[in-house]
Amino acid sequence: PFIEVDAGTVRQLLEKLGQSFGQAFYDLIVQEDDLREDVVILKNGRNIAHFKGLDTELTDGDDVAIFPPVSGG
């Protein structure tokens, strides 16, 4: 699903999504004020780890994809 959110950084985006979807959502993505190791976030198809992590700036029209932890075998 696509959701439009006004946020200046990925961190602000996650905080706003956490307000909308609850603390459990936020805790699934962020741990100790940093991105969890098993979560991947892409900005316009590129991993935010190659930018400034959670402090990666967002501008109008950016696409952000969040891939939460998965497991299985």
Q: What is the pLDDT of residues 36-66, one digit of tens each?
A: 999 999 999 999 999 999 999 999 999 999 9
Confidence of residue 73 (pLDDT cuts 50, 70, 90): low
- Indicate the pTM of the whole model: 0.89
Superfamily of domain 10-67 in the CATH hierarchy: Beta-grasp domain (3.10.20.30)
Domain ranges of the chain: 10-67
Banded pLDDT at 3 (limits 50, 70, 90): confident
Give mean pLDDT, residues 11-29.
94
DSSP 9-61: BHHHHHHHHHHHH-HHHHHHHEETTEE-TT-EEEETTEEGGGTTGGG-B--TT
Residue 31 predicted with pLDDT over 70? yes
